Structure 1
Amino acid sequence: MEAEKNPNHPPPPPRSALRSVVIVATCTLAMLVNTASATSSSIALPKIGQDLDIPAQKLQWIVSAYSLTSGCLLLFFGRLADLYGRKRAFVAGSLCMFTFALGCGFAKNDITIDILRGFQGLGAAATIPASLGILAHAFPPSRARSLAFATFSAGAPVGAALGMVIGGVLTQLTRPSWRSTFYFSAGLTALCLIGGIISMDADIPSTETDARVDWIGAALVTVGLTLIVFVLSDGEIAPNGWKTPYIIVLLILGVLLVVAFLFWQRYLESVLDDPNAKYSKWTPPPLMKLSLWKRAKGKMAVMLWVAFLNWSCFLAWNFWVQLYYQDYLRLSPVLTMVRLLPMFLTGIVCNFIVALVVGRVDVVFLIVTGTLFTGCAAIFFAAINPSAPYWAFGFPAAIISVFGADFTFASGTLFVAKVALPHEQSLAGALFQTMTQLGTAFGLTISTIVFNRVLKRGSLKLGVVPDASGMNVPLPAQLKAYEAAQWTAFGFGMLATLLAIVFLRGVGIVGHQHPNKEKETDSEHTVAETQ
């Protein structure tokens, strides 16, 4: 039996078809703005560095500051959304994103823009898990839910492509240049804010009898993840690289805090499950039940790790392709955007494919197909011939690169909504999002390490000492480094495919089904319903 079918969970109120469409459009737009905010600033980095006199090694923090806060606070804000209202969280997050995106457009130095980007990420950390909870409650298991989640999922890859398209055009062709990208993000976020206020259902009280917040767990996981993501972002550019003392210390401390969080959650869950346990203000309900990872006979954990690896592949591919076009081939932002435009179109097509087949096809087929295609996109650039026409390598790679993002995100979020209880929909969605954000940081870090090592080795063979950007290295050495980074992305994609093939068999269909086929036989899931 579905976790959604809880007698204590009131059904969504009746609404018009138009209002339902606006809800889906608003949530999808929030996801689109989230990813576009990262990619639009990424493609504008060279121009930002030039205008604000920011050293090349510090430019990445304009992207990393946003990812740091938006990724590390997802669990905490997801829990708050479940407890105190998903619409409230969505509106507050949209207002935060709008305010600080607008502020970024007026920034005068690197410190200011980094801080404002961090605060902008706070808004995304609130809106995305709230969106998942809103859709899960607004659309019970049905064809409408499948369509809603497929459309929402398309916001991620389409937003990434749109961010590059609009970012490239605005950076090169408008007078404010890169500042226009932040004004554009602010404008889209304003639409999210208005849509959330006028269309979303009013918040309903949480079905949990104990609505306390696990502040200790929230502090442990937020600080721990923040330190880990910071180290992943800064390790390669630290004074002595990964051997820098503060990098080593912060990495160890971050890992210890995350481990402490897991033990603390296990303890709180054991207290919650003990009928003889005495009430204590020090033992609130856990921020994240570890048993959530065991849902569907452990396939929940596998799905989360597949999402982690798929995003490691997709975002690493995306990052190095942009640099290849702009720094190696010396193309302008607009010409780079044009070469990546097929991603936007394919993302829309993938959305329709998922919506049509997710209620008929076993999810393992969608996951395997998606991760395999995204991994193969990296092969095209790992074996690229710079003198070959764009249609030989760049075009087919752009076409197939978004399959993994679309298929994995849509299938994964539907699966998470299916196995999560009504009062933990936003938290479960936040957990899925956290894994994708960590996968992004991990993929960029590992591929950057590989790129730098290969670049350095190639430079030494040629008797050249590379500068911070590596641009004084002869082109053959640079090309080898780009190829190595793409082979690394390919490895992430293939590992995700292997996990899906081996461990996701038997999940079945996660989209809309006929009511008499919606029986859940997983005994662990049945236990979860009674908690």
Structure 2
Amino acid sequence: MTAHTMARPVAARPGIALALILTCQLMLMLDVTVMNVALPRIRADLGFTPAGLSWVMNAYTLVFGGLLLLGGRLGDLFGRRRVFLIGVAVFTVASLAGGLADSAGLLIAARIVQGLGAAAAGPSTIALITSTFADQRARVRALSLFSAMASSGFAVGLILGGLLTEWLTWRSVMFINVPFGVVVLAFGRRYIAEPGRQPARLDLAGAVLATSGVGALVFGFIRAAETGWDAASAVWSLVAGGVLVVAFVWSQTRVGHPMLPLRLFADRNRAAGYTNFFLGPLSMMSAFFFLTQFLQEVSGYGALTTGFAFLPMAVGIFALSRAVPRLLSQLGPKPVVVTGTLLMSAGLWWVARLSTGSGYVPGVLGPMILMGVGSGLAFAPLNVLIMGTVPPEDAGAAGGALQTMQQIGSTLGLAVLVTVAGSAARGRAGTDALVTGMTAAFTTSAVIALLTCAVAFTFRRQ
């Protein structure tokens, strides 16, 4: 065995290693939503057009989602810790540059580079957890914490965005990543062990097909959300993305070292877990996107108050994710995920009853709690099902596929739900149009959440 394939010892301080990995994951997930609350001030300061402003969010999502599969495989081939730390370094520098940006073009460029760093670091976070924790119970606990960070990061991003925007400036939303990134870089090499690498080659054809295919799908969904499903650019991007993804899957059956080993989907629980990691974010995007608008434009909340309004959801996600290891060992995955998806659906049905006169406590607080608790139960077991038994040599690819499903689900969810809302609101005006469209989107989300429940019934007890 050559020196580069020998596994190094597991980190002597796995608790510190886990804290560093979770810090990185929280940082990456925050950036999906933390900019939302700051967008009006960014537009005023840097002179964005209404259409251009959406690319403050979309540039990050497009690059992040399009390169996740490639980032996961690069970690498997060239060292997960190395690729992880390089990704964190790129993300941190880009965050600093974004905070200093004095034009719309520079900010968009910084967001693109952030996406590059996130795509390199993201898949390796979950793969490093599986290699750091060899004991099955410890691994389940660590993966549950990871899921809590990943799921609650969306809500925490809105809270943090509101705090920073209200108290400081929108630039602090970018700068906040810098100290986190510096800490991970300063201690990561010391406390995070480098797993052994497997002798393999990079599947260049697969890398091109996967990156261009997923990128085209994400771009198509983004364009559909911006301009509607009648836009030729959206339709052709989706068609091209679908063809490229099919070609990528076919290519993975023809190469000796596939970028995404299809054996990952041979296990029924793992395949169902991937499916729900697509459907779950698709259904929950409406909660973040439309409730933020409802609280600010209908209820008249400021940025700070809007952020704190999502606190019950974040607390529910984190608290229930912490309880998942014990529940999984006692009940198995099926009842845990089924219960979680039913609670998510109930919360979405509840907010679908909102009106222009609804207050926070009777109309929003209860659904927030249901959706938070439901998300904690529905998503935390999926990380365990997917990563708990994956072969070590495929951990990076498995983590990249997991986060790719999550990104595509979130992006598709936004495109579909914005279209539903626009159709329902046609012919109306003002807050009446907003609430009518929003409640139609919530109803659609609740139906999708029920589909995740149906998939959960296919889990085997284990």
Could you tell me the TM-score, scaled by structure 1's length? 0.82
Q: Is the 8 A contact 1:73 1:222 kept in 2?
A: yes
Q: Structure 2 CA distance, aligned partners of 1:84 and 1:101? A: 25
Map residues 38-187 of structure 1 onto 2, 5 A cutoff.
38-174=32-168, 177-187=169-179
Q: Write out per-residue CA displacement over residues 7-61 of structure 1, whole angstroms, 9 at most, x where no aligned residue.
A: xx97772654xx2111111111111111111111012112212222223333222
Compared with structure 1, are the counterparts of its residues 251 and 342 closer, same or farther at alpha carbon in structure 2 (3 Å cutoff)? same
RMSD: 1.9
Q: 2:34, 2:160 within 8 Å by CA — same for their partners in 1?
A: yes
Q: CA deviation at 1:435?
A: 0.5
- 1:194 paired with 2:186, answer yes
- Match among 13, 23, 26 for residue 17 of structure 2: 23
Separation (CA, whole Å) in 1 of partners of 2:381 and 2:161: 29
2:431 maps to 1:475: yes
> 234, 238, 242: which one pairs with 1:255?
242
Structure 1 residue 409, shift from structure 2 partner: 3.4
1:222 aligns with 2:218: no
On the 8 A contact 1:28/1:154 being kept in 2, the answer is: no
Check conservation: 2:34, 2:173, Cα contact below 8 A: yes
More helix by percentage: 2
Helix, strand or coil: the match of 2:301? coil
- Structure 2: gaps spanning 5 or more residues: none
Q: Give the C-alpha shift of residue 355 in structure 1.
A: 3.3
Q: Secondary structure at the match of 1:124?
A: helix
1:495 and 2:445 aligned:
no
Q: Aligned residue for 1:6?
A: none
Structure 2 residue identity aligned to 1:129: P
* 2:356 maps to 1:362: no
| Kept after mapping to 1: 8 A contact 2:8/2:195 | no
Q: Letter of the aligned partner of 2:262 in structure 1? A: L
State the distance in 2 between where 1:47 and 1:450 align. 28
Question: C-alpha displacement at 1:138, in angstroms?
Answer: 1.2
Moved over 4 A (4+): 9-12
Find the residue that maps to 1:212 and give its secondary structure. Answer: coil
Q: Between Structure 1 and Structure 2, how many residues are aligned? A: 458
Q: Is the 8 A contact 2:355 2:435 kept in 1?
A: no
| Aligned match of 2:229 | 242
Preserved CA contact (<8 Å) 1:310 1:404: no
The alpha-carbon deviation at position 440 of structure 1 amounts to 0.2
Q: Residue 360 of structure 2: SS of its match in structure 1?
A: coil
Quote how far apart the aligned CAs of 1:287 are.
Answer: 1.0
CA contact (8 A) 2:151 2:317 kept: yes
Change (3 A) 1:80 1:485: same
Verify: 1:420 aligned to 2:390, yes or no. Answer: yes
Counterpart Cα distance in 2 of 1:248 and 1:205: 41
CA distance in 1, matches of 2:210, 2:311: 37
8 Å CA contact 1:12, 1:139 repeated in 2 = no
Q: Does structure 1 conserve the Cα–Cα contact (< 8 Å) formed by 2:21 and 2:125?
A: yes
1:216, distance to aligned residue in structure 2 (A)? 0.5
State the partner residue of 1:307.
Answer: 277
Question: Offset of 1:158 from its aligned partner?
Answer: 2.5
Structure 2 residue 41 is the aligned partner of structure 1 residue 13: no
- Structure 2: distance between partners of 1:118 and 1:226: 13
CA distance in 1, matches of 2:224, 2:364: 30
Alignment partner of 2:440 out of 484, 490, 494 = 484
User: Residue in 2 aligned with 1:286?
Assistant: 258
Q: Name the residue aligned to 2:221.
A: 232
| Match of residue 212 from structure 1 | 201
Gaps of 5+ in 1: 1-8, 273-284, 460-472, 510-531
**How far 1:251 moved relative to its partner?**
2.3
Displacement, 1:106? 1.5
CA–CA distance in structure 2, aligned partners of residues 112 and 356 of structure 1: 47
Q: Give the whole-Å Cα distance in 2 for the aligned partners of 1:39 and 1:478.
A: 20
TM-score in terms of structure 2 length: 0.94
* Paired letter, 2:329: G
Q: 1:300 to 1:356 in 2, by over 3 A?
A: closer
DSSP 3-state at the match of 1:145: helix
* Paired position in structure 2 for 1:449: 419
> Which structure has the larger Rg over C-alpha atoms?
1
Q: Which residue of 2 aligns with 1:344?
A: 314
Structure 1 residue 395 displacement after superposition: 1.0
Task: Work out whether residues 364 and 500 of structure 1, in 8 Å CA contact, stay in contact via their aligned partners in 2.
Answer: yes
Alpha-carbon separation, structure 2, partners of 1:130 and 1:299: 22
